[in-house]
């Protein structure tokens, strides 16, 4: 058995992950990401059910014994990813190689879980959410969404952004390294690479352009994207986000 085959088996069993939390900080598992890249190089194109892909990266098959609801309609879970018991995948959705989706999470319609992204327990990825993947460079940590986070419809989270436990990302919010995040509660700007804090409620916002760097844009009153933490979760927030049990 090649190295990538062994790694894929462990990834799909959930006994190995492409990223892990070390001393409170999420870091990429470089050896796992290297094995995934090795699998791409070793793969040969084949046709299966009208689709063409590398022979070793074809979609996983599901049975009721796995306890995953893969609703009909065009979703796909690629080889080398982990989907835990109790996960619901609504069509069409895609979970890429190296990703990890933990127990009780929802992957809604038109949602993407990119390569090596880590999704915690009871996370809700609403319709149209895009969770970016990171394979190269191998040392770069992927997008992390921790337990009980809620990601609103149409949000885009890329470039290794980390969202901590119970955070709420409002619909249409874009989080990337180039989008600054301002904590309006604690009156500060998050440092580059700093995770979205636990319980934070984040909404899309705008800010004026820098007049020194872009004076003409300032004259035109142009604005740039940012994200705003407008509050931290409370009982009212929890009530509005509670998932209906009958949908399970």
- What is the second-level CATH architecture of the domain 3-60+72-177+236-247? 3 Solenoid (2.160)
* pTM of structure: 0.93
pLDDT, one tens digit per residue, over 180-189 is 999 999 999 9
Lowest mean pLDDT among 1-10, 37-46, 190-199: 1-10
The pLDDT of 212-239, averaged and rounded, is 90
Find how far residue 186's CA is from the centre of its chain: 26
Q: Give, as one character, the DSSP assignment of residue 135.
A: -
pLDDT, one tens digit per residue, over 57-88 is 999 999 999 999 999 999 999 999 999 999 99
Q: What three-state secondary structure class fits 88?
A: strand
The pLDDT of 16-22, averaged and rounded, is 94
The C-alpha angle 240, 234, 102, rounded to 5 degrees, equals: 70
The pLDDT score that the predictor gives to residue 238 is 72
The pLDDT score that the predictor gives to residue 247 is 52
Q: CA 231 to CA 199: how far, in whole Å?
A: 8
Own/partner long-range contacts of 76-82 (Cβ < 8 Å, ≥24 apart): 79/8, 79/12, 80/7, 80/8, 80/11, 80/12, 80/36, 80/39, 81/11, 81/12, 81/113, 82/11, 82/12, 82/13, 82/14, 82/17
pLDDT band of residue 95 (cuts 50, 70, 90) is: very high
Q: CA 116 to CA 135: how far, in whole Å?
A: 7
Whether the CB-CB separation of 103 and 84 falls below 8 Å is answered with: yes
Strands (E), 184-240: 188-189, 200-208, 223-232
Q: CA 75 to CA 63: how far, in whole Å?
A: 15
pLDDT, one tens digit per residue, over 106-115 is 999 999 999 9
pLDDT band of residue 248 (cuts 50, 70, 90) is: low
pLDDT at 155 exceeding the cut of 80: yes
pLDDT band of residue 41 (cuts 50, 70, 90) is: very high
Q: Give, as one character, the DSSP assignment of residue 107.
A: E
Average pLDDT over the chain, rounded to whole?
A: 94
Exposed/middle/buried for 82, CB within 10 Å: 0-12, 13-18, 19+? buried
Please give the share of the chain, as a percent, with pLDDT higher than 90: 86
pLDDT at 150 exceeding the cut of 90: yes
The pLDDT score that the predictor gives to residue 235 is 73
Complete DSSP assignment for 36-83: HHHHHHH--EEEETTEEEETTSPBP---GGG--EE-SSS-EEBTT-EE
Q: Provide CB contacts within 8 A for 79, sequence distance 6+.
A: 8, 12, 56, 57, 58, 59, 60, 97
The pLDDT score that the predictor gives to residue 1 is 56
Both tokens of 116, joined, read 């090596």
Cis peptide before 32 (omega within 30 of 0): no
Alpha helices in the chain (DSSP H): 3-13, 30-42, 215-219, 235-241
In 3D space, the residue among 189, 164, 165 whose CA is nearest the CA of residue 179 turns out to be 189
């Amino acid at each position: 058995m090649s190295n990538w085959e062994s790694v894929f088996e462990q990834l799909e069993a959930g006994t190995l992950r492409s990223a892990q939390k070390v001393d409170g900080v999420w870091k990429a598992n470089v050896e796992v990401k290297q094995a995934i890249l090795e699998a791409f190089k070793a793969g040969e194109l084949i046709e299966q059910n009208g689709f063409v892909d590398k022979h070793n990266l074809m979609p996983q098959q599901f049975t009721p014994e796995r306890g995953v609801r893969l609703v009909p309609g065009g979703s796909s879970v690629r080889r080398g990813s982990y989907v835990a018991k109790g996960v619901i995948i609504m069509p069409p959705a895609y979970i890429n190689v190296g990703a990890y989706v933990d127990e009780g999470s929802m992957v809604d319609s038109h949602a993407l879980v990119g390569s090596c992204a880590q999704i915690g327990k009871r996370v809700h990825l609403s319709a149209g959410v895009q969770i970016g993947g990171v394979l190269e460079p191998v040392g770069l940590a992927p997008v992390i969404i921790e337990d009980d986070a809620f990601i609103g419809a149409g949000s885009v989270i890329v470039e290794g952004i980390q969202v901590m436990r119970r955070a709420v990302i409002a619909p249409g919010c874009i989080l990337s390294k180039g989008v600054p995040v301002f904590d309006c509660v604690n009156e500060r700007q998050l440092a580059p690479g700093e995770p979205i804090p636990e319980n934070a409620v984040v909404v899309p916002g705008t800010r004026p352009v820098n007049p020194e760097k872009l004076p003409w844009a300032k004259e035109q009153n142009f604005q740039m994207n940012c994200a705003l933490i407008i509050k931290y979760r409370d009982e009212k927030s929890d009530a509005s986000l509670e998932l209906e049990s009958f949908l399970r």
